[in-house]
Structure formats: C-alpha cells, structure tokens
Structure 1
C-alpha cells in the first residue's frame, strides 16, 4: 500500500528529523554531519541517539535515548548505513508516525531510498516536503508453550525465521495455515517473510521476489527434507503456524536477524500481519523493477543485443527498461519504442 503525500506539504509547528548512523566509518559520519548542518540551516531540529551522539559530535542537536520514544513527533528517521542500520532504525520508528528514509552506505542497501551521490537531492525533498510515503506490511510473532499460553513475542519488517537450536540435528516441525495442518518435514528452519523481506533472507533461501505493494505473507522452508517444500504465498490475513513436537529438536525464533526468542519444548510460533505498518519515505520515481535491475545487476537486453558482459552495465541509470532505451555496446544509444523516461 502506498500513501502519497501532497506535492508541497506545510507542516504545523517545529519539524524534527532523527538521524540513525553507522558510526563505525568515517565517511558515513562526515556525510551525516554535513546533512545535519543543512537540515538545521533549513530550520529543522536534528535528533541524535545517545549511543551515537558522541561519535557524531553535532552541535545543537537534540539527544534522545534509543528507545520507543526516540522518533515520537519526528517527521523523518534518516538512516545513514546499510540494511542493518535501516532495520535498527525501523525498531525506533515503528511506534511513531515517522517515515524512514535511507541513504545506502552498505553493499546492497535494498531498503534505502538513495545513494550517497544523491543526498543533496534527498535533503531538498525533505526541506520542501516533496516525498511520498509507502506503508509496508510488517509481521507480529507470538511464541506459545505446550499449553497454548503466550510466553514471548516480537515483530519483523523483513522476516521471522524459526530455526533449529542445535546445528547438528534436523528440526522436525508441522506447518499450519489458519489453524489447519498443511505439512510436516525435517529442515533447518522455516522463514515467514513480508514482501519487503522477499529480497533478503527469503530470496537467498529460494523464495519468490514479491513487489512491496502486494499484500501477502511468504512461507519459505530452509533445506527441507521433503518432496513438498515449495515456498508459499498466503493471504495477509492468515495466521501462519509452526509447531515443534515435544520430542523433537529445540528451536528458536530470529526476527530480522536482530531479536531472538527461544521456543519452549512442544511449543509453537504464530505469525500474523502486524497492526501497524512501517512507513518508508520515497523521493525518487524509480520503480521496484528498476531497483531490482540496479541492485542485482540484472541483464535487461536480449542475449542477441548484448555486447558487454559485465553485470550492472546493461542499461544506463537514466533509461527505462520498458521503452528499450538501452545503451549499445559501442556506447551509442539504441532501441525502439519511443522516448525514454529520464526518471527511470
């Protein structure tokens, strides 16, 4: 689901932007400092987390504890780092109306909105309130004991994985959908992923890539010893369950690779859509398909047209795949189908 903000939005009262930064790299810290200075010059209050403030050394910034109140009242949580930093920021923004906006300084950075070279454009969009907001489905996770009592819970933006606790043993489990058993097998684990997380752990485990505006949840077995162990795409209103036999291997839950819970012996894990989505701010008009091409270096020309073989150079970033406005191997522009779209 995508909610588009007006072209120009005039907020009432003071505006606040919370920065979350991978402080372990000097170049990231410098970029965060220069961005904070520009936001402050535009009259926007910059917030910093207590555990990052000393490393950033930004004068005049508001310092807040890294808890559920950190993003309260903020308009944007601006992330400087990779997907790991983004997921940490999502924990802070989850209980507020703040939208996440990432600057990719990691490797793939699928969640980020922009690359470092486009930071000035992104800051301009924040200053002018010229951005849209996507509402991304998140999942809630309940851990229950053998009596059916809830003994723990967490949430995830990307995925929650039920994994074996002992690496040397196979995890036996039963998968159920909406309270009805579906199948059982031995495996390394099962992933419950969102469309946002379909390009993360679930993708590596053989799951499908799902466009982020699709309302669905994914079930992806990991190294299952079974004939029927295909990834499943379910209704967003389903309740997905993994039950662990009392005489089987012990299991644990990992949420976004950041939060872990132990599953009691003979217990189960229930996964459902979270009541609150995660809000992600977008500035650039690139489609999700364009992101796939850019992030994974996908070839976008037919094999008969290909002249170059280095991944990621099949299409110039300012050309649209659908209009075949690609770049020939000799450096000239070619293709058919009309004008190209410079926003692609």
Structure 2
C-alpha cells in the first residue's frame, strides 16, 4: 500500500502555496500519495502548471490511512492542523514559513531535506502534553475544549479589570484584578505565557503553568504546578464584568460574571515528528537569536581527574 502524507498549508500566503506544490510534486516523484483538504487543494490548483495528482482527505482517503502530516506555515498553521486531526494519532511535522516558529521542526530552506526524511522514514515521534478546558456556569458545564499551547481567560472590556479568584488543587490561592490569566503547557511556555512573564519550561518537563497578566496584587507570580494538578479561575461576579476564553488563540467563548474555568492535563497528547534531535537549549538560542559570545563549554577533564590546588 502506498504511503499517504497529509499536506497542510497557509494557502493565504504565496510562499506557502509554492511550498505545498513543491512538497506534493516531490512526494509523487518518490512514490507517496499527497493528500489535502478540498478547500486548500482548490486554491492550490488555481494557477498550478503541471499539477500532480493529489487525493482529498475524508473523500478519497480516510484519516485513519494517513501516516503523517506536514504543515507549511508558522505556529498558527501548526495549531490549526493539530485542531483538525485532534481525534487521530497522526503526527505532525512543521516547516516554518513564519517568524519564530517554535513548534516547527524545520525551516523553509530545509524543505527538500524534510521531504526526503519523510520518504525515507527518518523521523521519530514525540508526544507533547495538551490541556483540557472545562467551563462551568453554576452546576452546569457549558463547554469542554482543549489546547496545545495555552488557554487564556481575558477581560472582555478594555476599560475595566477582570476580577478573578485563582485556584490550584481545589484550594483558593488568591484574588485580584488583572487583564487575564494564562494556563499553559511546557510547549506553550514560549508563546503567550512567555509574553506574560512566565518561565521557559523544557518540553520534556511534566508540568503546567499559571501566569497572571498585569495583575494588581502583591502575590501574582507565575506558577508551575504538577501535571496532576487542577488549576482553575473564577470570574468574580461583584463588578458584573465578564471575560473571554481563548484556546490556542483560535477558539473563543464569552464568559459571564461568575463563570468558572477548570484546566487539567489532557489524556490525549499531541504527536510531533522530529528529524533533528538537537537539545531544546539550542532551539532557544536559534529562535530567539540569543547571544552566546564568550561561551567556552565544559572542561574535557573528567571529575575524577580534576585536582584542586592548595594555597
């Protein structure tokens, strides 16, 4: 059976459309079957000279038959793709055509090498923690959602602060006025939580983050909790100001005063394909263009052979 690769592209960008056409052609030449969504394929075929055969997901190819998904775009495109295949076990590999692209495994200039690695099955799959989001109005659950990066509860009115109570492990921690609260995974620690002053957490660390945004309080520090914890925020009703829930900056829901939002670790992780097993510290330096001038590295001498001179 010929292997099938799902191609996601930010079709609103010309460079992503060109990259998708290149990927589809290379996959066909290697004997693999490129697969796309109907809408994306229609956009791609417009003005595509020497178009190669591309199958349509859920029409001519079932999701269960897809081996891997390749995403051409920035982190937003990867989050979009992860949302579309959430109910499957398909791993994703991202090729960054955007700016920082922390979720991407490769850059645009690595495109041909990335396709070759897929063709030759030179990749591993790692699982990234996701979070489940439960929204309550009184004793009634009104919404269940999820996020790979973060869920944020933000003020809906720019003129007024959001009054909240935050909770960890079913115990109240503090109340304060703020612009919002971010609940993040380690993967999302370099996204919205980072912008809010939260710590960078290595993806291999099992933890969750709670980061208050512009809080008017003495104790409003970012918190790192156990993966087994339940974090929650309640929108206090006394000033009649509601909020807005965002999941990965894509899915939104208005929240009334008195609404409660609970965050727990999801039982279903997101699967990402890796082709370059570089340490996360190297990715931090590259993506943020951090200065490392003057670094000498560890000594070559083993600890047992190191001696301390006495004065």
TM-score by length of 2: 0.90
> Aligned-residue CA RMSD in angstroms?
1.9
Deviations 1:205-242 (A, max 9, x none): 00000000111100000000000000000011111110
Deviations 1:264-285 (A, max 9, x none): 3312000001110000001012
Deviations 1:127-157 (A, max 9, x none): 11111111000001011002x2100121110
Which residue does 2:90 correspond to in 1?
98
Whether 2:268 is the aligned partner of 1:276: answer: yes
Which residue does 2:130 correspond to in 1?
138
Q: Distance in 2 between matches of 1:30 and 1:210?
A: 35
Structure 1 unaligned blocks of 5 or more? 1-12, 306-320, 324-335, 339-344
What are the residue-to-residue correspondences of 1:6-25 with 2, within 5 Å? Answer: 13-25=1-13
Deviations 1:21-57 (A, max 9, x none): 0112222211211111111222222111122111212
Identify the range of structure 1 (259-268 vs 204-213) with the bigger mean alpha-carbon deviation: 259-268
| Displacement after TM superposition at 1:337 (Å) | 5.0
SS of the residue 1:72 aligns to: helix
Q: State whether residues 187 and 221 of structure 1, in contact with CA within 8 Å, keep that contact through their aligned partners in structure 2.
A: yes
Q: Distance in 2 between matches of 1:287 and 1:293?
A: 10
Q: Distance in 2 between matches of 1:153 and 1:88?
A: 18
Picking from 21, 26, 46, the partner of 2:34 is 46
Whether 2:226 is the aligned partner of 1:235: answer: yes
Structure 1 residues 289 and 263: CA distance shift in structure 2, 3 A:
same
Deviating beyond 6 angstroms after TM superposition, the runs of 4 or more aligned structure 1 residues are none
Q: State whether residues 73 and 96 of structure 1, in contact with CA within 8 Å, keep that contact through their aligned partners in structure 2.
A: no
TM-score by length of 1: 0.81
Which residue does 1:174 correspond to in 2?
165
Structure 2 unaligned blocks of 5 or more? 46-50, 302-311
Whether 2:256 is the aligned partner of 1:264: answer: yes
Q: Distance in 1 between matches of 2:52 and 2:122?
A: 27
Q: Distance in 1 between matches of 2:264 and 2:111?
A: 36
Whether 2:48 is the aligned partner of 1:56: answer: no
Structure 1 residues 337 and 299: CA distance shift in structure 2, 3 A:
farther
What are the residue-to-residue correspondences of 1:158-169 with 2, within 5 Å? Answer: 158-169=149-160
| Displacement after TM superposition at 1:124 (Å) | 1.4
